[in-house]
Chain A
Amino acid sequence: MSTPARKLELGRVGESVRRVDAVPKVTGEFAYSSDLFAAGMLFGHTVRSPHAAAKVKGIDISEARGMPGVHAVLTHRDVPGEKRYGLEFADQPVLAMKEVRYFGEPVALVAAEHPEQARRAAAAVRVDYVPQTPLADAENAPEAVREITIRHGDPDASGEITVSGVYELGIQDQAFLGPESGLAVPDGKGGIDIYVATQWLHVDRDQVAPCLNLRPEEVRIHLAGVGGAFGGREDLSMQIHGAMLALKTNRPVKMVYNREESFAGHVHRHPAKIWAEHRANRDGKLVNVRMRIVLDGGAYASSSTAVCSNAASFACGPYAVPNALIESRVAFTNNPPCGAMRGFGAVQTCFAAEAQMDKLAAALELDPIELRLRNALAPGDSLPTGQRIEGSLPVAEVIRRCAALLEPEAEELPRDPIRLPGGAGNTTRGDGIRRGVGFALGFKNICYSEGFDDYCAARVRLFADAGGELVAEVHSAAAEVGQGVVNIIGQVARTELPEIADVVIAPHTTAGVGSAGSSSASRQTWMTAGAVRAACLAVRDELESRGGTLPPGEEIDIERVYRHRQTSPLDPETGQITSGPAHVAFACAAMKVVVEVDVELGLTRVVWIGTAQDVGKAMNPQAVAGQIEGGTAQGLGLALMEEIQTKDGLITNASFTDYLIPTTLDMPPVVSDLVEEPEPDAPYGAKGVGEAPTVVSTAAIVSALRDATGRELNRVPVRPDEIVGL
């Protein structure tokens, strides 16, 4: 099942290098987690709760067990070890026991010879539910995953001007295209190999092994091809379930969710309601920011505690704010569980904070860009948590560089309907079109925060091939989820080992190298570059000490662990930093957007986007541009169309027919200006680039819609009926 090691094309740090995996991906040979095959494999299926809240009185599997092709039907009684797992707290049942707490919660498992037999048997599992009234209102939910209050300066300080607003964001789905899937293969000795699409191999293993009652080394997690992640693969999906079925039947078991199941199969972006009040003086300087943030965490904790802290930490935006009162709370409800999604808490508060900045600019009769420049945070300033900005954070520079990008002139009418708001669906000649220009600024942290021991291992094995040429084989457990970390690994190795003819990248697995940490939090490029560089330098030193050559049969094999500077938790009472910084580093982005709104039909067209982003150092400029364009598209989706709809906790639009994501007709050209101011602590000065565009784009697009319509538009996604009838 293992992927062959891949040879890298020429390319060093800072060059636009073709993806190592581009050829297998364009030919169809690349093996995604849903493509896997093993001789004799069975297909697994999950029985899921149709209720958002119910007591489970009993589960009758007798009929299902006797159906054609069925090899196993399992319930919570069959979980070999710990009955619960979780990223931060082990609070989520492997399979429901006495209750179900959200729509789609796993209740039982089936393995059969054909997926249709598994589906039919799953439908024959009789679960005796006693439905309860679901808790669906986060605002009034009694129990919190976490609450944090940041008190900074004088939280009651008043200014000459006050603006306030209430903002809401719907539930966004990662909507990665590759469904949750994987293959579990028993090793015949009681252990298991799991080939799966995930964001962090080792943390999967550390959650899976206790539930299977196995030692960590008996569970080997191997990265299968990942069809997108965006935070939605941080939590487990089929890993334990597939392994239970495989160990029970002693057969390989493949599980592939369909799209409807996928909507229930992973956590989402937290929906939020935010009350904001900004106080400023007539000179445009912010005096005080007060914000109350309620995030709906859904039924289980996932990574909600960190999302809660991030929402609070970045609530004010990248502005110098002398006084602040920020209250952030993640509530437990019976809504779909929420956790990590690209932007991770900063998206929600950026939408509110930037709307407030536009409102303040209007109240002060100041240019919105000028207002932002007057308040721009700079190194040496402090965040509301008391953390001083060290290193690089060129806020004013990204504002200026973005403002300097020239938007196109308005296109003339009449024109091809495909260039009208709503595209070919627009039945007018464009008579109702209004144009608007918006601007926003966003920032967030890079790497894990608040004292988490964030480290990354890499191993380099140097040997002479048959022809006597030296080959460096790099081992890393970093999850390639589409972002291109495979190229980073190779680029760093080529840069640090310039004399080595061949650099090859070994398969990503928990067997053979230590943890790389997660491909999330804009951290993997920084961390993996640090670890691979350290291992390469150690190998280079060792090679030199052996006279610069290796005889055939000899090898150098060195693993190194990289850590970024240590962080500390925020004080639970005051939200202030404790023994050190809470965050490692920051990245910011500014975005200018042109929209056209057809105010007669309620249709929108985003015409053009220009952005300047603080990237530290562009390790692979083509890949950086790709991250910016793709991250922007996801923010556009949240601004205009993407929302998981629920009714009493039940998801009502679990398909790509009803949950819309941006298409080729929705995305405008994106002009990116990369601001390269190296981060002093980061390897090569590089900052993660994937999240900033998603943080800022929703706010920037809605800013443009407000400019076009004059309406407040305090909720995303903006609906057609909110922009008609002007």
Chain B
Amino acid sequence: MRIELTVNGEPKEAEVWEGESLLFALREHMGLPGSKNACEQGECGSCSILLDGSLVCACLVLAAQADGHEVVTVEGLGSGGALHPVQEAFAATGAVQCGFCTPGLIVATVDLLQRSPDPSEDEIREALSGNLCRCTGYAKIFDAVRMAAAGS
């Protein structure tokens, strides 16, 4: 079936099979592999995106369900070649090692800071508890969130 949606501010169309997830469609049909495929069962948060402004796991949304909706992925966060402040903070604090969790964590952090511009330590931990990272032990990710919050 054919779907039409807005991705990172641009209209997109794709021919998808009914069983495909939005994650698969973004990665394999729309040339946007930034959202990651670590578990594809909604446990790791690596595919976190904003769907009509809400934080969701793209692996748990059918591509067909996104028809007519608005999607923002990690590729759509920066503007005019500049990094989004959250992206800049992740790069500066050492929050990135292998980086596979990074796009999902960045999108989740953007979502957190939109809701709560100056989050407490506990709030940060709770907000990001759906995003697994296997490399960093999270300490530098917390540094990144605090840095981004201080700058915003």
Given contacts A176-B98, A481-B98, contact A664 B41 (CB under 8 A): no
CA distance A25 to B90 in the complex (A): 10
Contact of B134 among A34, A225, A228 (CB under 8 A): A228
CA distance A663 to B134 in the complex (A): 9
Query: Are the CB atoms of A667 and B138 closer together than 8 Å?
Result: yes
CA distance A413 to B58 in the complex (A): 40
B residues less than 8 Å from A667 (CB atoms): 137-139
Given contacts A226-B98, A664-B129, A665-B129, contact A175 B87 (CB under 8 A): no
Contact of B137 among A16, A29, A633 (CB under 8 A): A633
CA distance A25 to B144 in the complex (A): 14
User: Chain B: how many interface residues by the 8 Å CB criterion?
Assistant: 59
Interface string of A14-41 (1 = CB under 8 A from B): 0010110111011111111011010000
Query: Are the CB atoms of A116 and B17 closer together than 8 Å?
Result: yes
Instruction: Specify the main secondary structure of chain B where it touches its partner.
Output: loop
Interface centre among A230, A416, A626 (most CB of B within 10 A): A626
Interface string of B21-35 (1 = CB under 8 A from A): 000000110011111
B residues less than 8 Å from A633 (CB atoms): 134, 136-138
B residues less than 8 Å from A227 (CB atoms): 36, 38, 98-100
Query: Are the CB atoms of B139 and A669 closer together than 8 Å?
Result: yes
A residues less than 8 Å from B37 (CB atoms): 34, 179, 256
- Number of A-B residue pairs at CB separation under 8 A: 183
Query: Are the CB atoms of B87 and A27 closer together than 8 Å?
Result: yes
Query: Are the CB atoms of B91 and A18 closer together than 8 Å?
Result: yes
A210 within 8 A of B: no
Query: Are the CB atoms of B91 and A664 closer together than 8 Å?
Result: no
Query: Are the CB atoms of A664 and B39 closer together than 8 Å?
Result: no
A259 within 8 A of B: yes
Interface centre among A21, A177, A622 (most CB of B within 10 A): A177
User: Chain A: how many interface residues by the 8 Å CB criterion?
Assistant: 64
B residues less than 8 Å from A382 (CB atoms): none
Closest to A634 in B: B134
Interface-side segment among A103-111, A427-435, A573-581, A654-662: A654-662
Contact of B132 among A16, A484, A661, A670 (CB under 8 A): A661
B44 within 8 A of A: yes
Given contacts A26-B106, A656-B43, A667-B138, contact A419 B98 (CB under 8 A): no
Query: Are the CB atoms of B129 and A630 closer together than 8 Å?
Result: no
B residues less than 8 Å from A670 (CB atoms): 137, 139
Contact of A32 among B36, B97, B128 (CB under 8 A): B36
Contact of B74 among A28, A175, A655, A669 (CB under 8 A): A28
Contact of B33 among A28, A628, A663, A665 (CB under 8 A): A28
CA distance A665 to B27 in the complex (A): 30
A residues less than 8 Å from B77 (CB atoms): 27
Query: Are the CB atoms of B126 and A32 closer together than 8 Å?
Result: no
CA distance A661 to B35 in the complex (A): 21
Query: Are the CB atoms of B38 and A179 closer together than 8 Å?
Result: yes
A residues less than 8 Å from B101 (CB atoms): 177
Query: Are the CB atoms of B135 and A27 closer together than 8 Å?
Result: no
Interface centre among B28, B46, B102, B138 (most CB of A within 10 A): B138
Closest to B76 in A: A28
Inter-chain pairs besides A23-B91, A664-B124, 4 sampled, C-beta below 8 Å: A18-B91, A626-B97, A631-B137, A662-B137
Q: List 22 A-B contacts (CB under 8 A).
A: A26-B103, A29-B34, A116-B20, A175-B134, A176-B100, A177-B134, A227-B36, A227-B99, A259-B38, A416-B122, A481-B98, A482-B97, A482-B98, A482-B135, A626-B136, A629-B140, A633-B138, A634-B134, A656-B39, A664-B129, A670-B137, A670-B139
Give B residues with C-beta under 8 Å from A.
17, 19-20, 27-28, 31-41, 43-44, 46, 73-75, 77-78, 83, 87-88, 90-92, 94, 96-103, 106, 122, 124-126, 128-142
Give A residues with C-beta under 8 Å from B.
16, 18-19, 21-23, 25-32, 34-35, 37, 114, 116, 174-179, 225-230, 256, 258-259, 416, 418-419, 424, 481-484, 622-623, 625-626, 628-634, 655-657, 661-665, 667, 669-670
